[in-house]
Chain A
Amino acid sequence: MNFFEVSVSFLSLAIKFSTVFLFGATGEIINQKSGHLNMGTPGIMYFGALGGVLGERIYIMCTPATAPLNPFLIVLIPVLFAVIFGAFGGLIFSFFTVTLHCNQNVTGLTLTTLGVGVSCLFISGMPMDRMAEAGLQMQSAFPDYQKLGWFGEIFLSQSWFTYLGIAIAIATAIIISKTKVGLNLRAVGENAAAADSAGINVNAYRYIATIIGGAIAGIGGAFYELDKTKGMFNIADGIDAFGWLALCIVIFSMWKPLIAIFASFGFACLSILPSFVTGNDYITYGFKMLPYVATLLVLIITSVINSKKAQAPASLGVTYFREDR
C-alpha cells in the first residue's frame, strides 16, 4: 500500500469514527446548553448501544433465516431502539437532578456506572447469529462508491449513521442559534431564574433537552457497537471512553455543534492514529494521549482568555429551585 492509499483509508476510517464522537458531543451540547453537566453521557451511550443491539436482534429474529436483510431497516430499527434507550437514560438523569434536586456530578457518575454494568451484561448475553452479516450490510449508504475513486472512498463510503450524525449536528446548531426554542433553551442554561420569570417552563426545557440529548448520544453508542466491531461483542470495548472524549469535544468546540463536527473528526484522527503508525510503544501511547492533552490545552486557553463569548452556559451544573430564598 502506498502512502496515498493509506491516507485514503485513514481518512475514511476517521470519518467513520468521528460519527460516534459527533453523536455523543451533540447530545451533550444540548444537555449542557440547558444547564445540565451530564456526566452520565458515557453510560447513556452504553444504553444506546444496548438498544441498538436489541433492535438489531429483534429485526433479525423477525426475518426468516434465508431472507436477505433489508439495508434500510438494518439502520432504522436499531436507531429507533437506541433513541428510546438513550432517551430513557436522559430521563433518569433529569428525574434525579430536576425533580429530586440531586447534585448533577454525583448523578451523572452513578448513571455511568449503572449504564456500563447493565448494558455490558445484556449485550454479552445476546446471541450473535447473523449479526456479522447485519454489520456488513450497514456499512455503506451508497454501494457504488468505488466508482468515484478516492472521493467516493472517503466521503461516500460511509454508513447512513454518519450522514445522519452530521445532519443532526447542523440541525442542532440552527435550532439553538436561530429559533425561538433555541433562545429559550439558552436562557434556561444561562439564567434559569430569568427564564422562569419570562414564563418559560424551566423544568420542561431541562427534561426535554436532556432526553433528546440522551437519545442522540445513544445513537452514537449504537453505531459503534453495531458497525465498528462488525457485529462482534466484547465487554472491553470501552464505549464509555468515547463518552468522556465526547465531553472533551463539547468544551473544545465551545458548545457550538458546527465546530464539534470538525473537532470530532480531529479527535477521531488522533484516536485511530496509533493503529496506523508503526513505531515504538512511546509513539503509540503518545498518540493515545493526544486527545486528552488537546482538551486540557483548550480548557487552559479558554480560562486564561476568559472571553465572555466563549464561556460555558452560566448555570451549568446548577439546579434550579424556584422557592430558593
Chain B
Amino acid sequence: MVSPPALLITFMENIRFENITKIFGSIVANNNVSFSIDTGEVFCILGENGSGKTTLLNVLAGIYKQDEGRVYINGKEVNINSPKDAYAHKIGMVHQHFKLVNVFTAFENISLGSKTKYTVQQVVDLCNKYGFKLDPFKRVYDMSVSEKQTLEIVKTLFRGVDTLILDEPTAVLTPQEITHLFDIIRNMRKDGKTIVIITHKLNEVMEISDRIAILRKGEYITTVKTSETNEKQLAELMVGHKIDLNIHRSKIPTTGVRLHIENLSAVNRDGETAIKDISFDLYGSEILGIAGISGSGQKELLETIAGLNRETNGSIIFTNPKKEQPVTFFHKNIKQIRELAAEGKFHLKDGSRCDLTNKSNKEVTEMVNNEEIIFYEDEIIDLKYKKPIEIRDLGIKLSFVPEDRLGMGLVGSMDLIDNMMLRSFRKGHAGLLDRKKPAALAQKIVDELEVKTPNIHTQVKKLSGGNIQKILVGRELSSRPKILMTAYPVRGLDINSSYLIYNLLDEQKKKGTSIIFVGEDLDVLMALCDRLLVLSNGHISGIVDPTKVSKEEIGLLMTRG
C-alpha cells in the first residue's frame, strides 16, 4: 500500500462536488450541492435526517448516479457508475445498513469481489496496524453489531482506499466503542487517509472532525472549521433557525407502582434466551428509559410485556389505576363483573356495598352504563397469560419503530383509515368492517400532529418517515394509554419532529401515563428519562438516576455481563 509520509501531503483538494442534484420521483434529495473535501482531513457532513447526506455520499460511492452535476477527484472530472468505479478511485464507503453476507466468515467477506487473493496474515497485520479487533474466521451471524462494523471498515480498507466514508458510524456503539473508533480514525488520518463522516451528532462532530459541511433539506449551507464553531451554532445551521436543544423534563411525583416485573425471562423467535431474570418496577407518571447496545434484549422485553412472547418465566403484574373509577364493558363482560362483585371489589356510587346477586343482566348493564359500579382499589392483573389484544385493551400500548419503520405497527400499503383500524377492526357488524370511526380518528391525528399528507386516503408508505412515525405515536397516544412502551420513536426523524415527540411524551407523563422509552441516543435518554435501566446481554446491569451518573459509567454498564 502506498502511503506517502504525512509531511509531503499538501492540503490539496481531493474531492469536489459541483452542482450535484439527485431526485427520487418527486423528492429532491440533493439540490445543487457544491463543496470540496481536502486530502488527509477528517471531514464531517452534518445534517438532520432527510437532509440528503447519505444520498450525496452514495453518489460518490457509486450506489446512485446523480441527475445533474459533476464530481471531481484531484482536479479531474470522474464518472462513477458503480461501487467498482469508486474503488478504482480509491473511495470506499461503510454504510449504515451493513452489506455483509451473513453465512460467510469475516475473511470471506473481506475477500469478496476482489481481484487479488488475500491471506489471513494480511488481515491480521492491518488490524494490528490501526488497532482493530477482528477474528477472521468468525461467521457474521455470530457477530455483534460493533464487530460487524469493524469488519465493514476493514473490508473497505482492504480495497486500498484512500478516502473512507463512514455513514452514521456511532449510532450502534457504546461510549467506549466510540472512543476506540475515534482513536482508529486518528490513526488513519496520521497515515494520510481522508475520512468523511456522515452524522447528526453534534458533540461527536466537535470532538473528531477538522472541517464540517452542513446540509439542510437537500441544500448545501456552508463549510466551517471545527475550531471556529460550537454546538449551538452548528445546531442553528442544521435547522435553519435558533433552536433550544434542551429536552424538557417535567418534575412530578410518581403515583405508585404500575408494573411489577419479577424474574422475567423470555425466549426470542430463534429459540435463544433473550432476557434473563429481569426484575424492576415501573411507576405511574414517570419515563423509564432503557439503554443498551442493539440486541441486548430491549425489543424482546417490550414484546414480552405486550404479550407477544409465548414462552416466558417470571411474573408481570399490572396495577390498573382503577381506584374510584367506574367499571366499563371495555374489557369486562357481565360474567366477569359479577365475579368481581362477589369478591367484593366494587362499591356503588353512593358508597354502599355492591351486591349484584339479585339483579338481572339488564339491570347490571344499566348500572354499568350509568357508571354506578366503582372499584374500591386498583385492579391487580397478572399479564403473563393474557393475549396481546387483551393487554392492549387494558391500556398497555406498544409502539415499536423498527429499522424499516413500517415493519411493525403500520401497514404501508393501506391508507391512514385502514391503519387506524388496526386497533378496532374487529368491531364491525356481521363480519364486515366499520370505517367511520377510524376515519374520524385519522383526521384528528392529522390535524393535531400536523401530519403532512394529501388526505386520509393516502397510502401510508407514500408519506415521509417523520409523518409515518407521527401517525404511529399519535395513534397510540390517542387512546390514553396507562402504559406506553415506545422503542426508537424518533428514528430517522428531523430535529423538529423529534422534539415534538419528546414533548408529547413529557405531556403524557404529566397526564399520568407510565412510559418506557427505548432509545439509541444516550444523550436524549439521559435528558428525557426520570430513571434509566441498562440492559446488557439480556440482564439488567443497573437502574440509575441519569442526573447522577456519567455517560461513561452508563457505557460500562452497557457492556458488562
Contact = CB atoms under 8 A, between A and B. Distances in A.
B480 interface: no
A194 interface: yes
Interface in B21-41: 24
A259 interface: no
Contacts of A309: 103
A35 to B, nearest CB: 12
A314 B104 contact: no
Interface in B96-120: 98-104, 108-109, 111-114, 117
A264 B323 CA distance: 72
Contact of B155 (A198, A200, A201, A311): A198
Interface centre among A184, A190, A193, A199, by most chain B C-beta atoms within 10 angstroms, is: A199
Contacts of A191: 99-102
B103 A190 contact: yes
Interface in A200-245: 200-201
B271 to A, nearest CB: 8
Q: How many B residues touch the partner, as a band?
A: 20 to 34
Interface string B171-201: 0000000000000000000000000000000
A191 B24 CA distance: 24
Contacts of A180: 111, 117
Contact of A325 (B24, B82, B98, B111): B24
A197 B104 contact: no
A308 B141 contact: yes
A314 B100 CA distance: 12
Contacts of A196: 63, 82-83, 99
Interface in A248-281: none
Given A191-B99, A191-B102, A322-B63, A201 B112 contact: no
A186 B101 contact: yes
B102 A197 contact: no
Contacts of B98: 194
Contacts of A6: none
Contact of A198 (B99, B103, B117): B99
A309 B104 CA distance: 10
A199 B83 contact: yes
Contacts of A322: 63-64
A309 B84 CA distance: 30
A235 to B, nearest CB: 43
B301 interface: no
A176 B177 CA distance: 37
Contacts of A198: 83, 99, 112-114, 155
B95 A197 contact: yes
B103 to A, nearest CB: 6
A187 B82 contact: no
Interface string A306-325: 00110100100000001101
A195 interface: yes
B87 interface: yes
A183 interface: yes
B102 A190 contact: yes
A308 B104 CA distance: 11
B100 A194 contact: yes
B111 A183 contact: yes
A196 B159 CA distance: 14
Interface centre among B64, B87, B93, B102, by most chain A C-beta atoms within 10 angstroms, is: B102
Interface string A161-194: 0000000000000000000100110110011011
Interface string B37-68: 00000000000000000000000010110000
A183 B155 contact: no
A197 B101 contact: no
B101 A187 contact: yes
B233 to A, nearest CB: 32
Nearest to A315: B101
B533 to A, nearest CB: 32
A180 B114 CA distance: 8
B84 A199 contact: yes
B82 A199 contact: yes
Given A308-B141, A322-B63, A325-B24, A199 B102 contact: no
B112 to A, nearest CB: 4
A156 B513 CA distance: 81
A312 B156 CA distance: 27
B102 A195 contact: no
A309 B83 CA distance: 29
B494 to A, nearest CB: 17
Interface in B295-314: none
A310 B104 CA distance: 13
Given A183-B108, A187-B112, A322-B63, A194 B99 contact: yes
B103 A199 contact: no
A118 to B, nearest CB: 36
Contacts of A195: 101, 112-113
A190 B82 contact: no
B111 A314 contact: no
Given A191-B100, A309-B103, A325-B24, A197 B83 contact: yes
A314 B99 CA distance: 13
Contacts of B93: 197
B113 A184 contact: yes
A101 B99 CA distance: 22
Contacts of A183: 104, 108, 111-112
Contacts of A190: 101-104
Interface centre among A194, A195, A201, by most chain B C-beta atoms within 10 angstroms, is: A194
B389 to A, nearest CB: 28
Interface in A78-125: none
Given A180-B111, A183-B112, A325-B24, A197 B103 contact: no
Contacts of B99: 191, 193-194, 196-198
A72 B14 CA distance: 62
Contacts of B95: 197
A86 to B, nearest CB: 28
Contacts of A201: 82, 84
A192 to B, nearest CB: 10
A180 B118 CA distance: 11
A323 B58 CA distance: 10
B63 A194 contact: no
Nearest to B29: A325
A308 B102 CA distance: 10
Contacts of B108: 183
Contact of A194 (B24, B112, B114): B112
Contacts of B64: 322-323
Interface in B107-163: 108-109, 111-114, 117, 141, 155, 159
B125 to A, nearest CB: 21
A194 B82 contact: no
A196 B61 CA distance: 11
Nearest to B93: A197
Given A194-B98, A198-B99, 5 more contacts: A194-B112, A199-B84, A199-B159, A200-B112, A201-B84
26 contacts: A183-B111, A184-B113, A187-B101, A190-B101, A193-B99, A194-B98, A194-B101, A195-B101, A195-B113, A196-B83, A197-B61, A197-B63, A197-B83, A197-B99, A198-B99, A198-B112, A198-B114, A198-B155, A199-B82, A199-B83, A199-B84, A199-B87, A200-B112, A201-B82, A322-B63, A323-B64
Report, nearest first, the 5 A-B pairs whose CB atoms are least far apart: A198-B113, A194-B99, A199-B84, A200-B113, A197-B99
